[in-house]
Structure 1
């Protein structure tokens, strides 16, 4: 009689199941936003890797699951990168191969309560180490970090102020491991229940013990979202539309007007006529304008994406050049080797230039703003540094017009809620074509979101807070703690292996003495 899992003997079938299991957590992110599903989404993947016949097969289960997760999270890149999307997913998915091996090592067979207890700490630490590695900008950055699925959960946002999105990821993996143990490891269910209770206690303690950021003022910030403007003359027509929408803000007592990424397609140093029009808008609205220039610079070689502040007298001199560029979208890593990507998709034909440092700007009326550009809002360290330097409000200028009908705009906008909660600073996510949104210092949404079908100028009463969250004060301590856990576990496993190797082999049993006739000797004979 064949076992129910006999069909998984085929390596290709098993790999397909692993890829499907790995893709499941994506449903917890926008646009589906089934945030509660993140609490069990890893369970099928864990159970599959646990059942692997060998450690090598478990590593393949981890790799294929990672491929499924990365491909599902970035599926909207297909129209731009085509086949290279699969290549990137396969390369990044390999980061989960050691994790799959770890799952089998700790939970395979009939694990003891001690091994299960170790799994409840080591497996979340391993997951966090993977997220830390893939958060490197050249590998795509921290897009799709598991904890980011909790962007609309109040308790999770409070936890984010303590340990950032990293702490949320760690606790989510703890929950998934505990549920997997409850399902299949009867002898260790007490440990699993204890882990669930401990997670609940930690969450409740953070909710009660972490102070909510107190607000001490408000700023009226307007977001100008022109919507999709296409055609060969789109830079000129977009500027005209943004100008018209901004003039509608006259008399509304705004403190700052924010345009989206690439809202100005010309270098303002080479186009003084546009600079004068922007200065006139500043005078008409009584507020400074933060625009975003995507153009070849006239004062130095190369194309930059830059946040530029414009006041009633023209350019203020405050400028921030984007530091972290989108791989393949704004530059091609190792172009001499991977330049062929431009022939199979819409990868960057020319690399954008990088800025040197983050910038804090004085937008008037004592309002200090910390600008970021598009992709940079995915990086917790950038917003943390701006808050630590004294920013009153965080700003992200973005454009996801290439992926207008996909999940990407909603995923991107949700990141602002996490950055706000982590830093205790309100964050404005202003886009060219939607989704634009504003979140208060506790991560809760302020005012309406502007969807991908909206062309408008929207004013927000943005609360200001100036406290310091534990995350801003202590930084990325959860990934550092995770690396320490892995190092200690590795040392313990190494020590155990050495002890087993040095243990003397048991002495062979002496053969029974025999009589001359060959029969076993008996006592007394």
Structure 2
């Protein structure tokens, strides 16, 4: 036994010892992909408004695709998380403007978990033939999930909303935000595959390189091919629309502590415009749009609020869509748009259907109160139940209240209900001078192209805007100023393919992602059985 046992020092001499270089290599192998994943998230964030850097989004996915290709699912999950942090932390920073960092960080982390699962799925399908197609479907599946869960979803930050300008935008008219987002992701992943193929053996790469290049260029060419779907043509003449931005007495969550002042600001700006119309300095509007929360005093229950709104409508001699907080018959508040006629007073209404969790209502209030007393500042609003289109001087106006613009189905419902023009009354005063208002304006621009409708954006404190059906901005205001916009806006009734197809483009793209995952599972089972 003694003769056959090697001495301890001999064993140590024959065992491989990790030197500084191998240790450094191990660190490099972990840190570089992690840093690249974070970089991908930051690049995607930078592609969003207020910057006009839409072209950064494909490069963000090129970096992500290069990092995730061939990884194990577990690594894909971790790298997806890192990308999500680089993306959502800066993108959603406006959510903590007046309530501190905790809600902002909680929301960013929750959304990041979806990106972790998406990264897992992308890594899982990354060894398939034409993997960018399957990976793009997985990405859209992840967006579809987070647009619906939890608390009815949070679609803010969908890739499509980074594209109010640029080559891919016309695809919104063909297949809505899912197809637009898929095109951006496919282009980026195709670019990643081109880079990967260029490093391969020249004898084996040429045919595959052609395929990868085709995957990169096809979304760009498809965007050009879809351009004829985008039109500013006035199919039924034009309507002269006035957008009123009355401003608020102060920024932040307590802006509405002076609720009467907010109402008076919008009445004052409407009266000022009426005086300009009377003096011949401004065109007589056919209809007038006020923002969300322009009257946080219930005009049904408060005669003084009723009187000043009615005064403004009579002075401007046009129907006014008034954003008001009202108490319904059940005793619960509603975020309501009221069609106010200068002769007959309040008439048709639209109640906001997709309410903002943790703002307009508080899910699991007792549970979340453990973490912050700010939960008691959230409202107890009740959602509306159906779409509604206002007949304003013969023009069909479809209200989509603020946060609702991020949800595909809500906007589509209003167009299918007969809206010739979309209105997105909003109140961004809570978020002060953050990038939130610009991100929302980008969403509104994408919706204009998606449905072929002009979009009017009256905001309490800015940025208010008139958006043409091609997504371009005809007029806009500054922030925290009292201004009016008067514009001739095309009335349109034709439906884009995206409006007609509804949810089907998203369903098909989700099935593409699911098919890729199913293919990998089936192939692995076959290999195990063989």
TM over 0.5: yes
2:290 corresponds to 1:240: no
- Give ranges in structure 1 of 5+ residues lacking alignment: 504-525
C-alpha distance in 2 between matches for 1:274 and 1:502: 75
Q: How does 1:62-211 map to 2 (within 5 A)?
A: 62-79=80-97, 80-107=99-126, 115-117=128-130, 119-136=131-148, 138=151, 140-153=153-166, 155-186=167-198, 187=205, 188-208=208-228, 210=229
Aligned to 1:508: none
C-alpha distance in 1 between matches for 2:514 and 2:122: 17
1:496 pairs with one of 510, 518, 523: 523
Whether the aligned pair in 2 keeps the contact of 1:213 and 1:467 (CA below 8 Å) is: no
* Secondary structure of the structure 1 residue equivalent to 2:44: helix
RMSD across aligned positions (CA): 2.4
* Secondary structure of the structure 2 residue equivalent to 1:397: coil
- Deviation track 1:387-419 (CA, whole Å, cap 9, x = no partner) reads 111111111110111212211011111211111
Aligned to 1:507: none
TM-superposed deviation, 1:444:
2.3
Aligned to 2:4: none
What's the TM-score once normalised by structure 2's chain length?
Answer: 0.86
- Deviation track 1:117-148 (CA, whole Å, cap 9, x = no partner) reads 1x121111011011111112726522111011
Aligned to 1:362: 391
* Secondary structure of the structure 2 residue equivalent to 1:377: helix
2:442 corresponds to 1:414: yes
Aligned to 2:239: 219
C-alpha distance in 1 between matches for 2:407 and 2:184: 20
- Deviation track 1:252-272 (CA, whole Å, cap 9, x = no partner) reads 311111111111021111112
Q: How does 1:256-271 map to 2 (within 5 A)?
A: 256-271=287-302
Q: Using the TM superposition, name which of 81-90 and 128-137 deviates more.
A: 81-90
| Matched residues, number | 488
TM-superposed deviation, 1:332:
1.9
Aligned to 1:434: 462
- Deviation track 1:199-223 (CA, whole Å, cap 9, x = no partner) reads 2332222224x36353131111111
C-alpha distance in 1 between matches for 2:178 and 2:152: 18
- Runs of 4 or more above 6 Å deviation: none
What's the TM-score once normalised by structure 1's chain length?
Answer: 0.87
Q: Using the TM superposition, name which of 236-245 and 494-503 deviates more.
A: 494-503
CA 1:491 to 1:18, structure 2 compared with 1: closer, same or farther past 3 Å? closer
Aligned to 1:45: 64
* Secondary structure of the structure 1 residue equivalent to 2:320: strand
2:309 corresponds to 1:282: no
* Secondary structure of the structure 1 residue equivalent to 2:370: helix
C-alpha distance in 1 between matches for 2:428 and 2:116: 32
2:497 pairs with one of 460, 465, 470: 470
TM-superposed deviation, 1:189:
2.2
C-alpha distance in 2 between matches for 1:357 and 1:189: 50
- Give ranges in structure 2 of 5+ residues lacking alignment: 1-20, 199-204, 278-282
Q: Using the TM superposition, name which of 97-106 and 85-94 deviates more.
A: 97-106
C-alpha distance in 2 between matches for 1:57 and 1:460: 53
TM-superposed deviation, 1:198:
2.2
C-alpha distance in 1 between matches for 2:220 and 2:29: 38
TM-superposed deviation, 1:51:
6.7
- Deviation track 1:82-140 (CA, whole Å, cap 9, x = no partner) reads 22322222222122223323443444xxx5xxx341x1211110110111111127265
TM-superposed deviation, 1:14:
6.3
